[in-house]
Amino acid sequence: MPHPIPVSAAFSIRLATPADAPELACLRYEFRTTLDVPTEPADVFLARCTSWMSDRLRPAAAWRCWVAETPTALIGAVWLHFLEKIPNPVSEPEGHGYITNVYVRPDHRGSGVGGRLIAAALAECDRRALHSVILWPTPRSRTLYERHGFGVPRTLLERPPVGELHGHARSAV
């Protein structure tokens, strides 16, 4: 499980590799279990998530992940999924980006780590000339995304999860 890291440690950003999957799975568990009660034993989840991530971190996969790290541990990450569009005979871009699982460990928040991770993912979106980039913010993180150019959709329609249609709130992050 994640261990304490000095708050003042310097950090750097890099692309994740399959070798990062076990630590990234721990970050995912930490993130999600601060928002809700787990319904799956930690060891079962970590094995399942490590396998899933390891597969998606291969260079040929439709996912990329950037990590923020100190010399001793990962302190945050962002994931980007490339959504394919159907080939287009006109000059319209052929892909969208979906940013998800943006997470910085609590002791390292508020000093620009999250912003640097988002910037890394958006640089790749720009490099690939993706059409648009979507994400589901939490209320608290909206300002972070707004500072990076995100706004309320002008053209997108979202069908909410079925539970919400029946009055039960669910998060999408």
Ligand X SMILES: CC(C)(COP(=O)(O)OP(=O)(O)OC[C@H]1O[C@@H](n2cnc3c(N)ncnc32)[C@H](O)[C@@H]1OP(=O)(O)O)[C@@H](O)C(=O)NCCC(=O)NCCS
Interface residues toward ligand X, by CB under 6 A: 31, 102-104, 109-115, 137-138, 140-141, 143-144, 173
Q: How far is the CB of 158 from ligand X (least distance, A)?
A: 15
Beta-sheet pairing, 133-134 with 74-84:
unpaired
Nearer of residues 41 and 110 to ligand X, judged by Cβ: 110
Q: Which residues contact 165 (CB under 8 A, 6 or more apart)?
A: none
Q: How far is the CB of 36 from ligand X (least distance, A)?
A: 12
DSSP H or E run through 47: helix 42-56
CA 120 to chain centre: 12
Q: How far is the CB of 110 from ligand X (least distance, A)?
A: 5
Nearer of residues 51 and 111 to ligand X, judged by Cβ: 111
Nearer of residues 83 and 93 to ligand X, judged by Cβ: 83
Nearer of residues 55 and 146 to ligand X, judged by Cβ: 146
Using alpha carbons only, what angle is made at residue 97 by residues 14 and 44, rounded to the nearest 5 degrees? 65
Q: How far is the CB of 131 from ligand X (least distance, A)?
A: 21
Is residue 121 a contact partner of residue 95, using CB atoms and an 8 Å limit? no
Hey, what amino acid is at 18? P
Report the residue number whose CB is nearest to ligand X: 114
